[in-house]
Amino acid sequence: QVQLVESGGGLVQAGDSLRLSCAASGRTFSGSTMGWFRQAPGKEREFVGRIAWTGGSAYYRDSVKGRFTISRDNAKNTVYLQMNSLKPEDTAVYYCAARPGVTGSWDYWGQGTQVTVSS
């Protein structure tokens, strides 16, 4: 049973930073891709960024490039989303996801963590 558990959300002001964590368990994630998504009220879930579990560069949506950074700690089976210079439009529920390979469907999802950025 794969489990992804996010933490680190909260209420911050515009310009502040937050770091989200995603603790993964239940399988070997080597070869997997870990992703972050978000869903704002009344909007569809959107891709934020992804990183290969075993290394390589992370990839981000344009609106967060230069502000968000995804990293991983393989020893802790944890992926992080460092969010800097937060904007009110970043307000959303943030989800961690995993897929078994480089491509394909995102098979595993966390429960989400709320990030609220006030102006």
**Per-residue pLDDT reduced to its tens digit, 60-85:** 999 999 999 999 998 899 999 999 99
Q: What is the pLDDT of residue 29?
A: 77
Read off the pLDDT of each residue in 13-36 and give the average, rounded to a whole number: 92
Q: What percent of the chain has pLDDT over 70?
A: 100
Residue 116 backbone class (left: φ over 0; alpha: ψ -120 to 50; beta: rest): beta
Q: What is the pLDDT of residue 93?
A: 98
pLDDT at 30 over 90: no
Q: What is the pLDDT of residue 27?
A: 78
pLDDT at 28 over 80: no
CA of 45: how far to CAs of 29, 31, 62, in Å? 24, 25, 16
92 forms bridges with which residues in the sheet? 115
Read off the pLDDT of each residue in 97-115 and give the average, rounded to a whole number: 93
The number of helix segments (H) and strand segments (E) in the chain equals 0, 11
